Each structure stands twice: as C-alpha cells, then as structure tokens.
C-alpha cells in the first residue's frame, strides 16, 4: 500500500467494509477510492468466489462501470483500489429532488443497460 495515501475521508460504508478516498503517490495526486474488505471470517470457498469476481472486475473497461485499478491482498483483508466516482448515489439524487424527469430517468436507465449488456457479453 505504499502506492496510495489514504486521506481518512470515508466515501461510504457497506456490509462488507468502508470506502475511503486516497491519492496515488507520484501521480499528481490522482484521487482513487479504496474499499477494504475483511476476509478473515469468510469460508475458503466463498473467498475463492470473491477472488474470481475481482479478477472479472479487473478486466472490465466500460465508461459506465467503475474501473478497478489495483488489488492488494493480506491474510485478513482485500483492498480494492478503484476509480473515484464523486457524483453521489442515484438513489440519494432522486430522493433529494423528489422528482426525476422522464428524460433523466431514461438516460440513467440507458446507461445502466449499456453497462449490464457489456458485463453479460464479456
């Protein structure tokens, strides 16, 4: 993890861990998101499945899919270094606006369908 400096800013929390903002050392402060997953309590078969999913994620290259740059593994955790997406959650955006225009909804759905199609064909 000498390649990245964690900022301490938490971008989000989920069931499997939290996501923190970080900067890549030597890259003009390029911001990335680092998700640390605790794996010391996961069964070996589930861990292998997770590793396969991560390998698939590393191969994804699509404008509507967050890019996974690096993976660091230790005996008790996996750190996923991803493209930093700072636009917020779609759900939060819709909740704040109370309305979502038909045009905005169709555009969001179209982008999701393009990403889903890419995933299913690769």
The two tokens of residue 97 are 């606006």
SS3 40: coil
Output the CA angle 62-39-66, nearest 5 degrees: 15
Whether 35 has a binding-site annotation, put simply, is yes
Task: Give 65 or 41, the one with higher predicted confidence.
Answer: 65
Give the CATH fold of the 1-86 domain.
Answer: Phosphorylase Kinase; domain 1 (3.30.200)
8 Å CB contact between 39 and 72: no
For the chain, which residues make up each domain, given as ranges? 1-86, 87-122
* pTM (predicted TM-score): 0.82
C-alpha 18/C-alpha 6 separation (Å) is 12
- pLDDT tens for residues 54-110? 999 999 999 999 999 999 998 888 999 999 987 778 888 888 888 889 999 999 999
Mark 9-29 as b/e (b = at least 16 C-beta within 10 Å).
eebeeeeebebbbbbbeeeee
């Amino acid at each position: 993890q000498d390649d990245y400096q964690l900022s301490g800013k938490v971008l989000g929390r989920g069931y499997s861990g939290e996501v923190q903002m970080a900067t890549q050392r030597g890259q003009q402060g390029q911001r990335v998101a680092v998700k640390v997953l605790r794996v010391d309590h996961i069964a070996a078969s589930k861990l292998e499945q997770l590793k396969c999913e991560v390998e698939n994620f590393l191969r994804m290259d699509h404008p509507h899919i967050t890019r996974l740059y690096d993976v660091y593994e230790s005996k008790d955790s996996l750190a996923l270094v991803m493209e930093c997406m700072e636009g917020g959650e779609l759900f939060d955006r819709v909740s704040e606006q109370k309305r979502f225009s038909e045009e905005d909804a169709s555009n969001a759905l179209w982008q999701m369908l393009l990403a889903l199609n890419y995933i299913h064909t690769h």
